[in-house]
Amino acid sequence: MTGRELLEARDLRKTYPAGRTGKRVAAVDRVSFRIDTGETVAFVGESGSGKTTIGRLVARLETADAGSIRFDGEDWLALSGEALRRKRRHVQIVFQDPQTSLNPRMRVGDQVAEPLRVQKLVGRRELEDRVAALLREVGLDPAASARFPSEFSGGQRQRIAIARALATRPRLLVCDEPVSALDASVAAQIINLLLDLQRDLGLAYLFISHDLPLVSRVADRVAVLYLGRIVEEGPAATLIARPLHPYTAALISSVPGHGPGEPAARIALAGEPGRGTAENPGCDFAPRCPIARPRCRVEVPPLAKIFPGSRAACFYPGELRVPTL
């Protein structure tokens, strides 16, 4: 169950240098979204679509070039110094690969305790008990605190990373491909853990993934990114069952079919992702789109409401259907 608005981002933009040309490429381009208390909003798209950059902007690991983020009604991007340190406890991140996100030279207990020390949330006498409680919360024996990350499996390391992220009792957790480095059975266990924690703690998740079946299970709402822009947004179940944007339909079609009513053939996309140019100023997706028409090559479709709760940046929404058995 979701509650009131927790985070609102408007017109976020982040650019990076493009080689030695002096030009800059927008990894995130005028992206707006909101996340309510206890809600999971997922961002999906191909590699390079801007998913991880959005997560890092929200977690303040990157600085936005433009746009705004309000967290619990406060200007999140205006915070700095001590004010940012205090508020940062409320937004934490779980990275894709726990093998690289955990320090191999630090014992597990010290790593889980570190956010508590930095935020000065508990005294020295309470610290050991708090770390033990966090490890139990993620399904690990408190005795794990005396060991090093290399002594654990990938799934156990991700549990340690989650315990560390939970140490400050955040309200929003950015999950950046949190199970993509794990075997399927272990990934399922981690997802179940995240769902249980959300239920018990009232967490909100910004969930980054390329796995649509997974997203359909964990997310309340989904935003589909293409070249740094949202091209479709809507309730997870509706978006998966009835994609409006042809790019979304192509992503869904790439998931192997397992039975009647599921994708049976992949929608072929021509070429590679590329932005519009002065010669072709229209929709960025038009050069690859199976249903593109002349209008698509000269006009940029706005992200517009198609039906309640769903938006798409397409002049012909819903026209491209996912092939089924």
Q: Is 278 exposed, middle or buried (0-12, 13-18, 19+ CB in 10 A)?
A: exposed
pLDDT averaged over the chain? 91
Output the pLDDT for position 261.
58
Q: Residue 228 is which amino acid?
A: G
pTM value? 0.92
151, 145 Cβ separation under 8 angstroms = no
Lowest-confidence pick of 91-95, 130-134, 272-276, 310-314? 272-276
- Residue 96: CB partners within 8 Å, gap ≥ 6? 176, 177, 178, 180, 181
pLDDT of 263 > 70? The answer is no
- If one compares 262 and 78, the residue with the highest pLDDT of the two is 78
